[in-house]
Amino acid sequence: MTNIRHDIRNVAIIAHVDHGKTTLVDALLKQSHTFRDNQQVGTLIMDSNDLEREKGITILAKNTSIRHGGVTINIIDTPGHADFGGEVERVLNMADGCLLLVDAAEGPMPQTRFVLRKAFEVGLRIIVVINKVDRKNADPHAALEKVHDLFLELADDADQLEAPVLYAVAKEGRAGTSPDDLATDLEPLFQTIIETVPAPVVEPGGFQMLVANRAYDDYTGTMAIGRISRGGVAPGDAVAVLDKAGGARRAKVVQVLVYRGLDRVSVEQADAGDIVLLTGLEEVAIGDTIADPESPDPLPRIEIDQPTVRMTFGVNTSPFAGREGQFSTTRQLRARLYRELDVNLGLHVEDTDAAERFQVSGRGELHLAVLIETMRREGYEFEVSRPEAIIKRINGLRMEPLERLTVSVREEHLGAVTEALGKRRGEMIEIVYDRKGGVRLEYTIPTRGLIGFRNNFLTLTAGTGLMGSIGIGYRPWAGDFREQRNGALTASSAGTSLTFGLAGAQERGTTFIGPGEEVYEGMIVGIQKRPGDIRVNVCREKKQSNVRSSTSDISVRLTPASRQSLEQSLDFLADDELLEVTPKHLRLRKRHLTEVDQSRARRASETSGIGR
C-alpha cells in the first residue's frame, strides 16, 4: 500500500541565469511570514555566500522551506548559469515539481532549454512562470509562445505538455493568471503549487535516502542532505551508508534536522517525502544512499553531464612563491583539489606526469574561476594554465565539444558580432529581428571558440549584448582558428615598478599594474599594440641630476593601470603563459621567465617536433 503526504510539496525553481529565481524565493519567504516582523532580511537572501553576493549570481543550489495554510512547501533554489548546471542536476531528485521561470523580455535562453530537459528527464510536474512582466520591453505573449515551442521540442509524451502558466513580478512579490491582471501578492502562485505539484508518495519499506547535497557546520560536522524516499528516520537510528564502490558502512544518526525558512530545526522524527539534514554520518559523499541496515538498497547514483573545459593547477613556481599564501605545497594543493570532488559533482581532477601539477576539468570557465577564487580566499597559492576545451578521440576521430549559443544584440552591433563569431567557427542557425531594433541569433560553435569570447562580446556590444550557451555534445574537430592575441609587455628585471618606467611601457601599450608594485623578470605587466612579446623595464628611474625627490615623477602623466579580473586574466592567457594566484595577488607571467629559458624551451620543442 502506498501513502501520500498531503502536507508536503517539494518544488525546485529553475531558469536561465538572472531570470529571477532567487528574487522569487525572497518573496515567497517574506509572504509566508517566515521572519519576525522586525527582522531585517534584505534581498537575494538565499545567495548567502560571499562570492554569490559579489557576483550577484547563485552558484550553489540551496534549500529552504515555508508553510502555507497547512502545507509545508520545500523550495530548492538553483543556479541558472550554465557552468553550474551540475548543481541543478543533483538536486532535482528532491523535487516532485518545478517552477520554470522565463524572463518576459528575454524569453527562453539556452539554460532554460537545459533545465527543462532535465526536469522532463526526472519527471517533474512543471509550472511555467513568465516573470518580469513589468519590464519596459517585456513581451509575455511572445515569451510564452517560445516556451511552448520548447515544450514541443523537448517533451517525450503528451502529458508533459500540460503545464499551468502564471505571470509574475518577483521583485514586487506579485503573480496572476494574466500579465495585465496580477494579484497584489503571490497567492495565485501558492495555490498553483499546492494544486499542481504532486504530494510526495511514500514508498513502503525501511528507511532510504539519496544524498543530494552536503553542508558543514562547526558544531555538528558534515550534514547529509536529501529527500527521504522510503520509511522514516529518528535521532539515534543505526543506518548503512552505501557508497560508490558498492561498499556499506554502519553509522548512527545523531540529529535529524529540517529547514524552516533560513533556519534548520531539529526534529524527533522525519518520514518519506521530507527533505532532511542528517548529522553524525561523517564522510558521506553526494550520491551515496543512506538506508536501513536491514534493507540496504542503493538508489541510482546521480548522473552528471561531463566537463568540457580544463586547465592545470600547479604549485606556484614564481620567484615570489611561498610569500603570500598559507597553503602552497603539492600535498596541500592536491588534498584541497580532491576534497572538492565530494561536493562539486561537475568537476574532475586527475594527476599528471608532473607530481606538482593537476588537471582540473569543469563545465566552463566560470566553474573553474569560482574554484580558483574560493581557494585563494581560503589561503591557497598556486598557478593555473590557459583554459582549453576537452578534445576526445571517439572511434579514432578527433572530436571537440560543441555548444549552442544564443545572443541578443542591438542591430548596430550585428555586423561586428557575426564577424567575431564567424572567425571562431560559429555557424548561424537562426536569426530573428524583433520590432524594437534587437536581433536574436542562434549559433552552434565549438567550446574552443567561446573561451575568452565573453569579454570580447561585451566590448563589441558596448555592454548591451546578452549571451548564453549550453553544451550539446561532441563533433569532429573543426580545424585550427586560434586568433592571435597582441603580444605581452613583460618585465625585463625584478624590482619595484616606478612611474617613469611605466610611462615608458605605456608608449608601447597598455599596462596592467601601477607604480610601487613588486615585479619579477618574465612577469606580464601589460599588453602591447601588436603581436610578439616585448620586454620593458618598468622599474627604471628617471636619471637624477641632483637630489632625489619623491615628487620628481610628477611631471610624467600615467594612464591608470588596466587591472585584469580573474576571468579577464584567464581569457588573456596564451599557451606559454600562466596565472599566479595568491590570496593577495593575481600575476600573469610567462611560463619561462627569462630569455635564456624561453629560447631553451623553444629549441626543445623544435627538436622534439611538438612545437605549437
# of chain residues touching ligand GTP (CB under 6 A): 21
Residue 340 exposed, middle or buried by CB count within 10 Å (0-12, 13-18, 19+)? middle
Q: Which of 9, 21, 264, 386 binds ligand GTP (CB under 6 A)?
A: 21
Distance in Å, CB of 322 to ligand GTP, minimum:
36
What are the E-state strand segments in 19-70?
62-68
Cβ–Cβ < 8 Å for 318, 587:
yes
Q: Give the burial string for 454-471 (b: 16+ CB within 10 Å, else e).
A: beebeebbeeebbbbbbb
Residue 5 sits in the site that holds ligand GTP (CB under 6 A) = no
Residue 17 contact partner, candidates ligand GTP, Mg ion, none, CB within 5 to 8 A by sort of partner: ligand GTP
Residue 191 exposed, middle or buried by CB count within 10 Å (0-12, 13-18, 19+)? middle
How many C-beta neighbours within 10 Å does residue 391 have?
15
Q: Nearest CA to 494 among 526, 534, 528, 525? A: 525
> Which of residues 90 and 310 has its CB atom nearest to Mg ion in the complex?
90
Residue 63 sits in the site that holds ligand GTP (CB under 6 A) = no
Residue 32 sits in the site that holds ligand GTP (CB under 6 A) = no
- Alpha-carbon distance 273 to 551, whole Å? 72
Cβ–Cβ < 8 Å for 587, 523:
yes
> Which of residues 85 and 449 has its CB atom nearest to ligand GTP in the complex?
85
Residue 23 contact partner, candidates ligand GTP, Mg ion, none, CB within 5 to 8 A by sort of partner: ligand GTP
Residue 76 sits in the site that holds ligand GTP (CB under 6 A) = no
> Which of residues 134 and 340 has its CB atom nearest to ligand GTP in the complex?
134
Give the 3-state secondary structure of residue 298. coil
Residue 222 sits in the site that holds ligand GTP (CB under 6 A) = no
Residue 80 sits in the site that holds ligand GTP (CB under 6 A) = yes
Distance in Å, CB of 23 to ligand GTP, minimum:
3
> Which of residues 108 and 522 has its CB atom nearest to ligand GTP in the complex?
108
List, in order, residues 6 or more apart from 68 with CB less than 8 Å away. Answer: 32, 190, 194
Q: Which of 8, 11, 12, 17 binds ligand GTP (CB under 6 A)?
A: 17
Binding site for Mg ion (CB under 5 A): 21-22, 58
Residue 79 sits in the site that holds ligand GTP (CB under 6 A) = yes
What is the side-by-side strand order in the sheet with 8-14?
62-68, 71-77, 8-14, 97-103, 125-131, 165-169, 174-176
Residue 170 contact partner, candidates Mg ion, ligand GTP, none, CB within 5 to 8 A by sort of partner: ligand GTP
- Alpha-carbon distance 106 to 130, whole Å? 10
Segment 128 to 157, residues that bind ligand GTP, using CB under 6 A: 131-132, 134-135
Residue 372 contact partner, candidates ligand GTP, Mg ion, none, CB within 5 to 8 A by sort of partner: none
Q: Which of 73, 169, 390, 466 binds ligand GTP (CB under 6 A)?
A: 169
Q: Which of 9, 19, 448, 589 binds ligand GTP (CB under 6 A)?
A: 19
List, in order, residues 6 or more apart from 445 with CB less than 8 Å away. Answer: 402, 403, 405, 421, 424, 425, 426, 427, 469
Q: Nearest CA to 10 among 276, 291, 230, 267? A: 276
Residue 116 contact partner, candidates Mg ion, ligand GTP, none, CB within 5 to 8 A by sort of partner: none
Residue 592 contact partner, candidates Mg ion, ligand GTP, none, CB within 5 to 8 A by sort of partner: none
Residue 30 sits in the site that holds ligand GTP (CB under 6 A) = no
Interacting residue ranges for ligand GTP, rule: CB under 6 A: 15, 17-23, 44, 57-58, 79-81, 131-132, 134-135, 169-171
